[in-house]
Structure 1
Amino acid sequence: MATNTLHADIDNWTLATPAARSPNGVVASQHRLAAQAGAAQLDAGGNAIDAIVATAYALNAVEPWMSGLGGSGFMVIWLAREQRAVALDFQGTLAGDTRLEDYPVDPGLPATPMGFPGVVDNANIEGYRSITVPGAVAGLEHALRRFGTKPRAEVMAPAIALADRGLHVDWFTSLQIGVCARTLARDPISASIYLPGGHPATPESRLRIPQLAGALTEIAEAGAESFYRGALAERIVADLQAGGSRISREDLAAYEVFEYAAMAAEHRGYTLYTPGEASGGLRQREMLAHALDAMPAPPENPTPETWLVYAEALEACWKQHKIRNGVLSAADGENGACTSSMSSVDAEGNMVALTYTLLNRFGSGVTLPATGMLMNDSVSYFDPRPGYPTTMAGGKRINSSNMCPTVAVRDGEARFSVGASGGNLIMPAVTQVAALMMDFDMSLERAVHHPRLDASYRGSVRVDPRFSPETLARLGERFALEIAQQLVFPKLYACVSAVSRDPETGECIGINDPTQPIGGGAAPTPFRLGSLGSDAPAVRP
């Protein structure tokens, strides 16, 4: 088979990241400050749900391009005392007045990240018409009210403090802005924040996002009720409709979170819980079943044949997924994917995996003037052509996602949770980390650092050159290979966040992907802003 080595030898360093360890719980996130905001809830006596909600809100201020108030997602919660796993679906919904004629297909444009046709003026991925009703605030509120222990104001305090301080710009932030500068330039508010002077913000500056701290404070005080039916809702809808969105007050008021028993998949004595068929969970279950059938008894350590089994299993489950969605020639969409994943565990053994997203990096590129919220572009989850399961329709909920937050339980104890960002890359990365831990009893730290491959039935398989020559040769007998090392950008093997807990020792471990320079785990300690960026000049739009 042919081999492509385009990304085989670009960066000249070895990527590794430290793990956080504590007997009192840990949090892992794509930004260390957000993880610390979550871990502070554990330090103050909160549980894993308090921690994950604090982490998610903090990301609005430190990683706004990936997720936030304007996003949607999934959460899986293992409740240790009740011995059950709960899934929360807080995916976005289309405006009730959505019309297919607003999204005429443009054959000259590339497919969206979900593999659907592009439309005229990129209206399904950029600007106000690409926005769905966001579910994030409702989902976080639901989780905290039903399963948390701490008051909302306390849980959100770190996020508000971070938003009030402003976004410290480092080289990684400048990279994220630069990648999306064209889209951000289309929106006057986003351009004024992220493109001061018409150029991407430079490292060692600090950006103020107008109104964001105020919006977070209003949510902390009045909850999701204000966001969906109160004063915040009024300002949100006014901004949306002024920009051309069809989202109405009725659409916001009708939004609801779905809570249900998480979908279970059995694998070598573990039960893996995911949000189910609307997420990447069904593909994960199919991949593991295929791998188990092909490899009933795993060897002591992974072999070239192991990786051939994993690659073939991923190809098979992705083929079925694309058949189900009516998209057999879907584009990767990997470099535009925008998602944040986080995990938490507490000393009692409660464990959470949360993934939520704006979909593309910086979402629609729209920042609402009255709230400072970056908004999603989740209309691109839907097909602009009639007659498909994912075809646009008024009020329709996102029903096909790559997000795959996973909690793994064995002998009644949550052992690890893992999720990732990265669009089509998410499920393969999450499932490989989980499979390495279950098939070969790897530690979380070793599994996250292990070379990965990516396969999604697209005509080739991408592999990390750190694999042995024997493994590369065996895979090359079956597939066209892309030899591509792990990179900070583009992230070719997703960005994993995970925690684990040893029920015998109580030790908890949290780790973020080694390709994410700002990510990390955090052990319980009081939250302090510290000196990060404190001397940087504030950039005010």
Structure 2
Amino acid sequence: MPHTYRIKTPAFTFGRSVLLGASLLLAGCSTIDRVTSVFGSDAPALGTPGSVKGFLGHVVSDEPQATLAGRNTLSAGGNAVDAMVAVGSTLWASLPSRAGIGGGGECVVFPAKSAGGPQAFSFPTSAPRSLAGERPAGVPMMARGLFLMHARFGSQKFEQLIGPAEAQARFGITVSRAFARDLAVVGPALAADPSAAAIYFRNGQPVVEGTAIIQTELAATLGQLRSAGVGDFYQGAFARRLADGSQSVGANISLDDLRGGLPKQSAPVLVASRFNGDQVAFTTGAGGMAAAAMFQTLARDPQATLPDDGGMGLPASTSAVTLDNAGNAVACAFSMNNLFGTGRIVPGTGVLLAATPGQNSAPQLSAAIAFNPALRVFRAAVGGSGQQGAARATASAMAQTLITAQALQALPAEPGRANVIGCSRYLPGSEGSCVAATDPRGAGLSAGSN
């Protein structure tokens, strides 16, 4: 069994608490009003957004609302894993074309100052036992994958972290430029599904950027996930509803498929770099291994020309990276195995199903984190996307970040995209050396400290 340990959230308010206590002891209770006037009585309580001041870290993703959800989590005292859970669950509502709850992904986690080192989490969608049906679908793995990662390293409650996504689905989330672009690509093919048409189309046309959409059934599913737990999604009452409902959209996912879909935690693919004794940890799937091989090439010759994987039409994906102020970091890549997966929502659940692996070429789920193993500190995090260019994007963006101490000074070759965080003098260490960027050719957002 893998070793279990948790990232500890720093005691951000310790210094302030000591100073307040000393003030009261030395001057007496009559000074409470003066102390309150200095520190402020209306500050958000720890655990709520805005309660942590100063350097928070960074969050970068391809969808702005997901980025802001992650930043809010950091500002409430959450760590990098908590922030990634907030990012991932928000994507279920804001970018289901690439990262719906029916999809899957791969991540790398770096727990700063931990002797255990970085860990990889693999939860791509798996093929069902039977491929019978009009539109075979992959077994949803997002909820279980994020839950396992959070169980190992999270600090805030999982149900608290997915609560904002539930609220956005219930009361309305704004269509971002990134999601509007994906909708414009699929057009009438997605409208053929009545459930999808009711949410994503107006008068027969895809909704445009700035439109508010309500996803009542998805909100109910997230509420069930929050109250009954992730286990119910895979082996409880909800799992039975999902399995039964999948038959009506040609997916043929069984209850046994849901029960058997398990994420994995393992050692990442490790590659030595030529930069200050740093190492780079990559995701463990085909995309991560391809990125690791390309990075090795660049470590030997930074001017080397990198090929993509040689294939065309690989499935769309998306990436995100998070960093907290203690140096803990996460880099992830997510996919539906096809833009909008099967294009079918399971009636009554709001779950958009991913395409089954094997029907299409596998997506390149590629992400990486650079760190110094001797000091146990963070150096850089990269998430790659862009179909057949995803692995190349991860490798080239990581090499550039380590060489230049900048984030995306040179953009990955088309069609690759990258999200990057880098701290040239490491973290913990020098927060002033940290930079972050999202690929300007996309429509994402990078957000960090005040």
Alignment TM-score, normalising by the size of structure 2: 0.81
Equivalents in 2 of 1:433, 1:36: separation in Å? Answer: 23
Aligned with 1:341 (options 311, 315, 319): 319
Equivalents in 1 of 2:152, 2:268: separation in Å? Answer: 16
Aligned with 1:250 (options 251, 256, 265): 256
SS at match of 1:409: strand
Equivalents in 2 of 1:69, 1:197: separation in Å? Answer: 27
Question: How far off its partner does 1:174 sit?
Answer: 3.5
State yes or no: 1:96 paired with 2:129.
Answer: yes
State yes or no: 1:280 paired with 2:202.
Answer: no
1:215-239 C-alpha deviation (Å, 9 max, x unpaired): 1111112221011011221111111
What one-letter code is carried by the residue in structure 2 that aligns with 1:408?
A
**How has the CA–CA distance of structure 1 residues 437 and 509 changed in structure 2, closer, same or farther, with 3 Å as cutoff?**
closer
SS at match of 2:388: helix
Equivalents in 1 of 2:239, 2:79: separation in Å? Answer: 30
Equivalents in 1 of 2:313, 2:196: separation in Å? Answer: 23
SS at match of 2:327: coil
**How has the CA–CA distance of structure 1 residues 341 and 173 changed in structure 2, closer, same or farther, with 3 Å as cutoff?**
closer
Query: Counterpart of 1:53?
Result: 85
| Equivalences, count | 389
Query: Counterpart of 1:516?
Result: 442
Equivalents in 1 of 2:379, 2:110: separation in Å? Answer: 10
Q: Is the 8 A contact 2:335 2:363 kept in 1?
A: no
**How has the CA–CA distance of structure 1 residues 353 and 154 changed in structure 2, closer, same or farther, with 3 Å as cutoff?**
same
SS at match of 1:355: strand
Equivalents in 1 of 2:152, 2:296: separation in Å? Answer: 33
SS at match of 1:211: helix
Equivalents in 1 of 2:179, 2:167: separation in Å? Answer: 19
What one-letter code is carried by the residue in structure 2 that aligns with 1:197?
N
Question: How far off its partner does 1:171 sit?
Answer: 5.5
State yes or no: 1:85 paired with 2:118.
Answer: yes
Query: Counterpart of 1:417?
Result: 381
1:154-207 C-alpha deviation (Å, 9 max, x unpaired): 211221221122232355544321210132022121122222222212444322
Q: Is the 8 A contact 2:364 2:385 kept in 1?
A: no
SS at match of 2:244: helix
Query: Counterpart of 2:22?
Result: none
> Which structure would you say has the larger RCO, counting Cα contacts within 8 Å and 6 or more residues apart?
1
What one-letter code is carried by the residue in structure 2 that aligns with 1:60?
W
Aligned with 1:226 (options 232, 235, 245): 232
Equivalents in 2 of 1:523, 1:380: separation in Å? Answer: 39
Range 370-379 or range 281-290, more displaced: 281-290
Question: How far off its partner does 1:451 sit?
Answer: 3.8
Query: Counterpart of 1:310?
Result: 305
Equivalents in 2 of 1:197, 1:382: separation in Å? Answer: 31
**How has the CA–CA distance of structure 1 residues 253 and 45 changed in structure 2, closer, same or farther, with 3 Å as cutoff?**
same
Q: Is the 8 A contact 2:282 2:292 kept in 1?
A: no
What one-letter code is carried by the residue in structure 1 that aligns with 2:337?
L
Equivalents in 2 of 1:338, 1:243: separation in Å? Answer: 22
Range 35-44 or range 374-383, more displaced: 374-383
1:225-271 C-alpha deviation (Å, 9 max, x unpaired): 01101122111111101222221011101121111111101121321
1:45-92 C-alpha deviation (Å, 9 max, x unpaired): 111100100110011222222212100110100111324011111111
Equivalents in 2 of 1:258, 1:170: separation in Å? Answer: 32
Q: Is the 8 A contact 1:26 1:345 kept in 2?
A: yes
Q: Is the 8 A contact 1:345 1:351 kept in 2?
A: yes
Alignment TM-score, normalising by the size of structure 1: 0.68
SS at match of 1:407: strand
State yes or no: 1:369 paired with 2:401.
Answer: no
Query: Counterpart of 1:406?
Result: 368
SS at match of 1:371: coil
**How has the CA–CA distance of structure 1 residues 242 and 408 changed in structure 2, closer, same or farther, with 3 Å as cutoff?**
same
State yes or no: 1:353 paired with 2:316.
Answer: no
Structure 2: runs of 5 or more not aligned? 1-52
Query: Counterpart of 2:38?
Result: none
Q: Is the 8 A contact 1:168 1:204 kept in 2?
A: yes
Q: Is the 8 A contact 1:181 1:195 kept in 2?
A: no
Equivalents in 1 of 2:334, 2:74: separation in Å? Answer: 22
Q: Is the 8 A contact 1:273 1:408 kept in 2?
A: yes
Aligned with 1:495 (options 396, 400, 417): 417
What one-letter code is carried by the residue in structure 2 that aligns with 1:138?
R
Equivalents in 2 of 1:449, 1:431: separation in Å? Answer: 14
State yes or no: 1:506 paired with 2:431.
Answer: yes
What one-letter code is carried by the residue in structure 2 that aligns with 1:38?
G
State yes or no: 1:67 paired with 2:103.
Answer: no
Q: Is the 8 A contact 2:298 2:396 kept in 1?
A: no
Equivalents in 1 of 2:449, 2:233: separation in Å? Answer: 30
Aligned with 1:270 (options 260, 273, 278): 278
Q: Is the 8 A contact 1:61 1:166 kept in 2?
A: no
Q: Is the 8 A contact 2:175 2:209 kept in 1?
A: yes
Equivalents in 2 of 1:203, 1:50: separation in Å? Answer: 28
Question: How far off its partner does 1:498 sit?
Answer: 2.0
SS at match of 1:359: coil
Equivalents in 2 of 1:45, 1:498: separation in Å? Answer: 22
**How has the CA–CA distance of structure 1 residues 25 and 238 changed in structure 2, closer, same or farther, with 3 Å as cutoff?**
same
Q: Is the 8 A contact 2:99 2:334 kept in 1?
A: yes
Query: Counterpart of 2:296?
Result: 289
Equivalents in 1 of 2:209, 2:401: separation in Å? Answer: 38
Q: Is the 8 A contact 1:510 1:521 kept in 2?
A: yes
**How has the CA–CA distance of structure 1 residues 415 and 98 changed in structure 2, closer, same or farther, with 3 Å as cutoff?**
same
**How has the CA–CA distance of structure 1 residues 376 and 289 changed in structure 2, closer, same or farther, with 3 Å as cutoff?**
same
Structure 1: runs of 5 or more not aligned? 1-20, 103-122, 299-305, 319-329, 384-399, 454-491, 526-541
What one-letter code is carried by the residue in structure 1 that aligns with 2:321?
S
Identity over aligned residues, as a percent?
A: 26
1:2-32 C-alpha deviation (Å, 9 max, x unpaired): xxxxxxxxxxxxxxxxxxx963211111112
1:469-495 C-alpha deviation (Å, 9 max, x unpaired): xxxxxxxxxxxxxxxxxxxxxxx3323
**How has the CA–CA distance of structure 1 residues 171 and 451 changed in structure 2, closer, same or farther, with 3 Å as cutoff?**
closer
Query: Counterpart of 1:143?
Result: 149
**How has the CA–CA distance of structure 1 residues 174 and 343 changed in structure 2, closer, same or farther, with 3 Å as cutoff?**
closer
Query: Counterpart of 1:393?
Result: none
Equivalents in 2 of 1:237, 1:406: separation in Å? Answer: 34
Q: Is the 8 A contact 1:22 1:523 kept in 2?
A: no
Equivalents in 2 of 1:72, 1:201: separation in Å? Answer: 25
Q: Is the 8 A contact 2:245 2:347 kept in 1?
A: yes
SS at match of 1:362: coil
SS at match of 1:191: helix
Q: Is the 8 A contact 1:41 1:524 kept in 2?
A: no
What one-letter code is carried by the residue in structure 2 that aligns with 1:25?
G
What one-letter code is carried by the residue in structure 2 that aligns with 1:379?
P
What one-letter code is carried by the residue in structure 2 that aligns with 1:282?
M
SS at match of 1:340: strand
